[in-house]
Structure 1
Amino acid sequence: MKIEKVLIATTNKGKLKEFRKLFQELGIQILSLDNMTERIKVEEDRKTFLENAIKKAKEYGDFYKIPVVAEDAGLEVEALGNYPGVYSARFYSIDFGGVYQIEKSIDYTNNKKLLDLLKNKDNRKARFVSVVVFYSPEDFGLWTEGYCYGKIAEKPEGEKGFGYDPVFIPEGYQKTMAQFDLEEKNRISHRGKAVRKLMEKLKDLLS
């Protein structure tokens, strides 16, 4: 089987940059949704990361008729009953802990709400979750998952990364994910782990 190009089903520039870096060794052309002349919107309305990723992969793959890699990822915080979870990207806007008005950016507001909810809490354990789905229309699909365990910082630190990176300290480190260089982050991140597992499976299929 030969795959010449793959659509990475995201509009998130940070995610796309990480996917491009991770996939470059396969020699497959990477497309983003910005490369598509026609655009469709896929609602992430499922209850699990896997269900959301499958839905995105299938809908984009069937519409564009090319192989698709789709991911759903988020942050689970133990003291908050694993919230924000699948609501990570829009945590500021859901009823849990109150609805916040956007300040500066969505990422900034999500992090502000998270830190507010964890004020005076001793348990700050958390993990990043990534579920990555590869879907080839009328052919096959497969999926992998990756985790990065750590804790929530007392305040944001670092200018790199995106999302909750400025408030997440991985296990074994004294700095937040937003203080990592991209290559260093990809070695330990949930997304890096999930994509490397996916690449191993794809290498077997492509060989």
Structure 2
Amino acid sequence: MESILINRINNILKKYKPIRLSDIEINPTGSHIHIFNSSTDKTTFWRVNEYWMKSLCIGICGKNRFSNFCSGNCEEWINKKKQCMWRQEKIIKKFSDVIISRYEIITSENDLSYKNEEDFLGHLNYYIIPKDFYKKIKNNIPQGIGVILYVNVKNFEGFKEQRKSEFKWLDPQQEKKIMLSMLKKMVKNFDS
């Protein structure tokens, strides 16, 4: 029964393409790579996505028809202490970076018993847990680990983010090591 459940979750996970994870906007048109840990262990899943790191904004004036640029020198801007009702922010460019997410499927208490801090190597680390089982183990989930619930009700089978993952900065060497490891596993899976 447990392996059937894991296979169902894996099939959904392969198609899972969130546009937001832990309040981080994922680039939906950007590239992503996903891979299972190995052919024997189907409980760990990695994904590399582009995410919107920062935006370049300019102020646009909705009052001045001749010059859309908001200089911040108009009467409304000065009198209202920089809270002008005419000013609007317009995003002119977004900058992306890479985010590595790690998902671990948890279907029994044994799955949690051997976890330690070194297992959580991604920028974002999540447990995927069946909704009914989550109530039993929610107090045993380490701080900083996000929770995505597997939900299977009448007309819906999918995921719901229950708890946000804390973003963990990785140094460039760690990122490189993880991505190279993923590529090796991807090639190995492709060859077999």
The TM-score with structure 2 as length reference comes to: 0.28
Q: Which has the higher strand share?
A: 2
Larger Rg belongs to: 2
Name whichever structure is richer in helix by fraction. Answer: 1
With structure 1 as the length reference, what TM-score do the two structures score? 0.27
